Structure 1
């Protein structure tokens, strides 16, 4: 497919396959097309050419509510309606399941409560979303996506604004959704080591094209990291997980050269410092 915003083409002749029941992570440098790809997969951006197939059917030919029951999205930046509370926002994740014959139920209540507990925002239920910190808001939006209970979940930089402990909590949660519930996850991550640790399938992008795709052990190599990111590095085995661990090469500090006539000259210990 070709992905573009008005006259600006982001990717051309792009082909991507997301394995079913995988935890797929898209990596690449800034402005390489990662988030644009996720927007196309989530039906927010219609390809200028080609199509996105969801279970073999063009996603734009399916009813919006039907897609929303299959596919959930945590966008890169979200804006909550002014004054809305945490529990109310999370509850909006249940809207695709509502209809004329099905109104709000105890099941919806249970799913909302479990989603808030899983993301650590249950104690914020009565707080207005616009009063929360960036990290708290990110977890509330993730809770809303979880409440949607879709078999396919797209996450655009889900660890944005989170400290290292909360990053690991969220990624552990995503791993449990994948392993225990069989959900297919597609996430955009900037941290290569997080991507290599949690993904079962990696897609490496650069300049709107896929450079490599496959298991982390095949995609994350020193040569590939330098090709995609321009970063000299070593790739070693993570002592905790056995997954690839990227160690950037040591920064080379240029050695200061002595000035003219300074070679071999002894310091003048009796010199008086120059005035201003």
Structure 2
């Protein structure tokens, strides 16, 4: 397995509160890697460390074999894009203007806005299906539309690595599927390496090509979802007794929670 992005021996903390110790992970190149685990297990903290927004108190984050914290911000931004958990657009900004902000890492004193930038912005909006929304203010859009716009902005950075922190949060199930299908297309058709934090086990098992399962700040298992998602793993990580069946649509693992004891399996009489 080759990996352009990963962390070695990391201790991750917020001030004095340590979230993870001696954490080592490697993101396979050209994978759609999904990080799963219960609340407060360190998923988003790991993603922030990989994205260079949280510096490990020990250990190293490596990007293309280099300590990411020795690299210039603009250099990192040309390689690695991040979609944070809660993205807030400036008031009144249009879709086209927000997506255009993804081109900022490519600007400089000697390089201003160009036809190449226009082309990339247009292609990013087309890839995410927001071209018809270009003139609309972002704050007037639905949750699903806004999420696609943020992904378009990340695409406009033209990074080969894209990190997404809970990209389906606050979306209804139809928009969740829409966003994850879009991520899958970016991975499959454009060869991008994606890393996403997700809460939904079904979504993770269906869309991921590589799964990292965490609990209490440590990696419990990682690998192909078909090998990682077992009844024993789900109970260990989430404390959920279950059985695993095959998803009839995709053949991927489907988690079926065990029924409560004594629950009636047949219809309840009304009289």
Q: Considering the TM-score relative to the shorter chain, is it more than 0.5?
A: yes
Q: Does 1:159 align with 2:168?
A: yes
Q: Which runs of 4+ in 1 moved over 6 A?
A: none
- Superimposed CA distance per residue, residues 214-244 of structure 1 (whole angstroms, 9 cap, x where no aligned partner): 1101110011001100111111111111111
- Superimposed CA distance per residue, residues 29-57 of structure 1 (whole angstroms, 9 cap, x where no aligned partner): 11111001000000000001111000110
* Gap runs ≥5 in structure 2: 1-9, 265-271
For the aligned residues, what is the CA RMSD? Answer: 1.5
- Superimposed CA distance per residue, residues 64-116 of structure 1 (whole angstroms, 9 cap, x where no aligned partner): 00100000000000122222221111110011111223221222112212222
| Of 65-74 and 135-144, the range deviating more from structure 2 | 135-144
Partner of 1:247: 256
| Of 56-65 and 243-252, the range deviating more from structure 2 | 243-252
Partner of 1:21: 30
**TM-score, normalised to structure 2's length?**
0.90
Partner of 2:14: 5
Q: How many residues align?
A: 255
Partner of 1:216: 225
State the 1:175 CA deviation.
Answer: 1.5
- Cα distance in 1, alignment partners of residues 187 and 140 from structure 2: 32
Partner of 2:5: none
Structure with the largest fraction of strand? 2
Partner of 1:194: 203
Where does 1:1-276 land on structure 2 (aligned, <5 Å)? Answer: 1-253=10-262
| C-alpha contact 2:128 2:152 (8 A) present in aligned 1 | yes
* Gap runs ≥5 in structure 1: 256-276
SS at 1:252 equivalent? coil
- Cα distance in 1, alignment partners of residues 13 and 99 from structure 2: 32
| C-alpha contact 1:138 1:161 (8 A) present in aligned 2 | no
- Superimposed CA distance per residue, residues 177-206 of structure 1 (whole angstroms, 9 cap, x where no aligned partner): 212221111011111111111111100000
State the 1:254 CA deviation.
Answer: 7.0
